[in-house]
Amino acid sequence: MNDNGTTQHGVSVQVRGIRRSYGEQEVLKGIDLEVRPGEIFVIMGASGSGKSVLLRHIIGLEAPDAGEILVNGESVHSSDVASKYRMALVFQSGALLNSLTVGENVGLYLSEHRLKSPDEIRKIVLDKLEVVGLKGTEDKLPTELSGGMRKRAAIARALVIEPELILYDEPTSELDPVSSVVIGDEIYQLNKRIGVTSLVVSHDRDLAFGIADRIAVMHEGEIIALGAPDEVKRSQHPVIRKFIHADFKRQPKA
């Protein structure tokens, strides 16, 4: 899907035998996976299974105890990967800079790296904010936004980078169903438009099965299933069955 005339190509990501412990607790117990260029890869898993920690390793914020992460075949920790490939992480918490306005946050990458003139940046910022449904918030401070709005602003900030690899940490966890669909759609459209490799962490089943090319399920620091959405759905692994079919047990009133 990376050679169908898109203007940009996504990068591949290889995660090989990643292990990471915090003190006594081993959070990642040997993760292996490969994300192909231009695909949407979704990682599902229970809270606390180590998904956010894995993303932090993939983008190079943290170094594993063992194993390696390769972006297009080069280690993320080699010094030139960060400048060679554009990568973005949408943090679970948003992680907007609280001292800047929403607009300044969204345009930060362009303004700090002086990639565009202030007028152009303003135009791009307004455009991206509109995409995520935050028109008119550019002069507000992040603290004046709701949790879900902050998350969407963080997505806008990542879109501005026009990355070759984009990591989303629970992009829809704080959104209402309608906004979730809008964001899910945008993740899908962006992927199709510029062929960006997208790695989405989510426990939103609808989102996962709606947009994923492939899905991995993580459980207590290990990958317990990996494959196309249908394969994962058919998996007989008890944890996966529970995860996919979990529902409220309330009986309808007689």
Ligand X SMILES: Nc1ncnc2c1ncn2[C@@H]1O[C@H](COP(=O)(O)OP(=O)(O)OP(=O)(O)O)[C@@H](O)[C@H]1O
Residues 6+ apart with CB under 8 A from 60: 69, 76, 77, 81, 82, 87
CB of 29 to ligand X, least distance (A): 11
Helix (H) or strand (E) holding 53: helix 51-58
Cβ closer to ligand X: 2 or 173? 173
Angle of the 102-112 helix axis to the 118-131 helix axis, nearest 10: 130
**What is the C-alpha to C-alpha distance for residues 112 and 102, in angstroms, rounded to an integer?**
15
Closest by Cα among 190, 131, 170 to 10: 190
Residue 53 interacts with, from Mg ion, other proteins, ligand X, none (CB under 5-8 Å by kind): ligand X
Q: Are 153 and 96 in contact (CB under 8 A)?
A: yes
Q: Give which of other proteins, Mg ion, ligand X, none residue 143 binds (C-beta under 5 to 8 Å, depending on kind).
A: none
Which residues between 53 and 92 bind ligand X (CB under 6 A)? 53, 92
Closest CA to 80 of 60, 55, 62: 60
Interacting stretch for ligand X, rule CB under 6 A, among 47-55, 151-159, 192-200, 245-253? 47-55
* Binding partner of 88, given other proteins, ligand X, Mg ion, none, CB within 5-8 angstroms per partner class: other proteins
Task: For residue 225, give Cα distances in angstroms to 89, 163, 228, 245.
Answer: 24, 28, 10, 15
User: What contacts 101, CB < 8 A, 6 or more positions away?
Assistant: 138, 139, 140, 141
Q: Which of residues 40-69 bind Mg ion (CB under 5 A)?
A: 52
Q: Name the residues that contact other proteins, by CB under 8 A.
A: 56, 59, 61, 82-83, 87-89, 91, 93, 95-99, 108-109, 112-113, 161
CB of 108 to other proteins, least distance (A): 7
Query: Which partner from the list other proteins, ligand X, Mg ion, none does 61 bind, CB cut-off 5 to 8 Å by kind?
Result: other proteins
Half-sphere exposure for 17 (CA within 13 Å, toward CB) = 4
Work out whether 105 is an interface residue with ligand X (CB under 6 A): no
Smallest gap from Cβ 50 to ligand X, in A, equals 4
Residues that bind Mg ion (CB under 5 A): 52, 92
Residues engaged in binding ligand X (CB under 6 A)? 22, 27, 45, 47-53, 92
